[in-house]
Amino acid sequence: MAVLDIVTYPNKILKEISRPVERFDKDLHKLLDDMYETMLVKNGVGLAAIQVAVPIRALLIDIGDEEGKQSKDTLIEVINPEFLEWSGTQKDKEGCLSVPDYFDEVERYEKVKVKFFDRFGKEHIMDADGLLSVAFQHETDHLDGHLFVERLDYIKRKKFEKEWKKLLKKRKK
Ligand code: CO
């Protein structure tokens, strides 16, 4: 397994619309394995393939167990996801490995029903609420070229742009 480079904002790659996965083959499995390694090393709870510059509709979610401990048992591999139902709203702090060190509250649906495929092409339907629901929505946004900071209201977005410039400067030092 290998740790991959993560593409960060404002790289234009993140705006690409990812294409559906058609082959559930060894190459896909290797990518998913490398993505998992990368996500754990970077302390993420989700990672979409486009964040490692591969524009396919594949993503990982691992929000961990009750104590937040991540493992292969709590990992969900999500290919070609599609929302079937959604309801309610919730507001929670989100972060993103492509927008490192910035966190802010985003409004999302409270509950979602998602259809997706696993790495072997088997179909799954899952009901999610709370953090898991947020993760599905956040990661699926990546597949359509969107970042959570685009969902901030005008004032918060301005605040983000300002803070982001500062963070970039700091990182260059
Ligand atoms: Co993200």
CATH number of the domain enclosing 63: 3.90.45.10
Residue ranges near ligand 1 (ion) with Cβ within 5 Å: 96
Its domain, for residue 106, covers 12-172
* pLDDT score for 172: 78
| Ligand 1 midpoint to CA 47 (Å) | 6
Percent of the chain at pLDDT > 70 equals 100
Domain annotation covers residue 6: no
pTM for the model stands at: 0.95
State residue 102's pLDDT score: 93
Calculate how far, in angstroms, residue 51's C-alpha sits from the geometric centre of ligand 1.
Answer: 8
For residue 168, being part of any structural domain is answered with yes
How many other CB atoms are there within 10 angstroms of residue 63's CB atom?
A: 17
Residue 49 lies in a domain: yes
The answer to whether residue 5 is domain-embedded is: no
Answer yes or no: is 2 within a domain.
no
Report whether pLDDT(173) > 80: no
Buried b (16+ CB within 10 A) or exposed e, 106-119: bebbebbbbebbeb
Note the pLDDT tens digit of each residue in 113-166: 999 999 999 999 999 999 999 999 999 999 999 999 999 999 999 999 999 999
Q: Does some domain include residue 69? A: yes
Q: What distance in angstroms lies between residue 45's CA and the mean position of ligand 1's atoms?
A: 9
Question: Measured in angstroms, how far is the CA atom of residue 50 from the centroid of ligand 1?
Answer: 10
Cis ω for the linkage preceding 20 (within 30 of 0): no
pLDDT(86) > 90: yes
Average pLDDT over residues 81-87: 98
Ligand 1 centroid to residue 24 C-alpha, Å: 23
Q: How far apart are CA 46 and CA 27, in angstroms?
A: 20
In a domain, 64, yes or no: yes
Output b/e per residue, 12-37; b: 16+ Cβ within 10 A. eebeeebeebeebeeebeebbebbbe
Instruction: Indicate which residues carry an active-site annotation.
Output: 139
Please give the pLDDT value at position 149: 96
- pLDDT the model gives residue 161: 94
Has residue 153 been placed in a domain? yes
Q: What is the per-residue pLDDT for 168? A: 87
Number of Cα atoms under 13 Å in the Cβ half of residue 170: 8
